[in-house]
Amino acid sequence: MQKIATVPEMRRLTREIRARGEKIALVPTMGALHPGHVALIEAAKKSGATVIVSIFANPLQFGPNEDFAGYPRTPDADLAICTEAQVDAVFAPAVEEIYPRGYSSYVTEDAYSKPLCGISRPTHFRGVTTIFAKLLNIVRPDAVFMGQKDIQQAAVVRKMIADLQFGVDVVVVPTVRDAEGLAHGVRSRALTNSQRQEATVIKQALVKAREMVDAGVRSTDRLVAEVTHIIGQRRRVRVIYVSIVDSTTMEAEREIVPGKSWLMIAVWVDEVRLIDNLPL
Ligand code: PAF
């Protein structure tokens, strides 16, 4: 497995890969790799492409009150995971390689990025679309692999790719959950055992939502009220949003359309922010 830190080296490698007639799959990450990332890598491997994992904690997608410095960094463990998963190359640039002094160009998507996490994290998706545009230009992959847990992020990136005609496929890989049903994520790893216990209420709410929709409930009001009620029973869990949206546009819906609507949840468990979702 090659480990690459600079943009010219990365461009050189991807030119070689393309010259061999191979396709390139990019798995963008911010490191602190967990089983959700491994599922992305496995899906990318299965596609038959040469797999590149980028590891870059992107300062631009953290708000002023969000702890960029405290974001977990586990470089040795990340490399071991990538080696084990037979990744072909890891691209792990330093911040100055991506945002040199005087950097001043940004990419924004102005519709799908506005609701949900866009309300409580108003600069987040601008950071995501900017780093994606850069990674797509540097690596020039045929496909990018993204997690379903971050479905709004995938929707925003897909829209940016379509609007700006990058010509890259976005593959969304199902959420990986632990034995208690908690979605794997960098932030959920920070939970203490008792917080983790509280957070299992998210999975309970998703299960209840599934049951209600399967039983014929189509009113988003009823579903949102029930999910909010279930989550509210835990003292240390506070709802940021519970919403039912169109899975492509992230626009709130009045009526549930099975196969099209998604239940979106964001909560605080004490000071840890978690998101989850469920296709209805
Ligand atoms: O989901 C993430 O880890 C990040 O938002 C991503 C996709 C790597 C972009 O920085």
CATH for 266: 3.30.1300.10
Rounded Cα–Cα distance for residues 118 and 114 (Å) = 5
My answer on whether 113 and 49 are in the same domain is yes
Q: Show which of 173, 205, 233 is a domain's final residue.
A: 173
- Indicate whether 34 and 159 sit together in one domain: yes
Average pLDDT of span 4-16: 98
Number of domains in the chain: 2
Residue 136 has pLDDT above 90, yes or no: yes
Instruction: Establish if 183 belongs to a structural domain.
Output: no
Q: What percent of the chain is predicted at pLDDT more than 70?
A: 100
101 CA from centroid of ligand 1 (Å): 22
Structural domain for 196, as ranges: 190-279
User: Considering the domain boundaries, does residue 182 fall inside one?
Assistant: no
Summarize pLDDT for 213-249 with one digit per residue, the tens: 999 999 999 999 999 999 999 999 999 999 999 999 9
At 186, is the pLDDT very low, low, confident or very high (cuts 50, 70, 90)? very high
Distances 88 to 48, 78, 84, 129, 245 between C-alpha atoms, Å: 12, 14, 11, 25, 37
Residue with CA closest to ligand 1 atom 5: 128
Query: Does pLDDT of 190 surpass 90?
Result: no
Q: Give Cα 28 distance to the centre of its chain.
A: 9
Q: Does 150 share its domain with 250?
A: no
In the chain, % of residues over pLDDT 90: 99
Residue 168 within any structural domain of the chain? yes
Say which CATH number the domain at 125 has. 3.40.50.620
Confidence label for 130 from pLDDT (cuts 50, 70 and 90): very high
184 is catalytic: no
Regarding whether 27 and 80 lie in a shared domain, the answer is yes
Mean pLDDT rounded to a whole number for the chain: 97
- What is the pLDDT, as a whole number, of residue 92? 98
Question: Do 125 and 218 fall into the same domain?
Answer: no
Judge whether 7 lies within some domain.
yes
Give me the catalytic one of 34, 37, 124, 184: 37
pLDDT in tens, 83-118: 999 999 999 999 999 999 999 999 999 999 999 999
| Residue 74 pLDDT | 97
pLDDT at 66 over 90: yes
Rounded to the nearest 10 degrees, what angle do helices 193-214 and 220-232 cross at?
160
Q: Is residue 184 part of a domain?
A: no
pTM of the model: 0.98
Of 178, 217, 236, 143, whose CA–CA distance to 35 is shortest? 178
Residue 206 and residue 251 in one domain? yes
Six token digits for residue 115: 């609701």
| Closest-lying ligand 1 atom to the alpha carbon of residue 54 | 8
Among 148, 173, 198, residue at a domain's last position = 173
Which pLDDT score is estimated for 69?
94
Q: Is residue 185 part of a domain?
A: no
Out of 145, 173, 201, a domain closes at 173
167 and 227 both lie in a single domain: no
Residues 163 and 194 in one domain: no
Ligand 1 pocket test, candidate residues 27, 61, 145, most atoms within 8 A of CB: 61
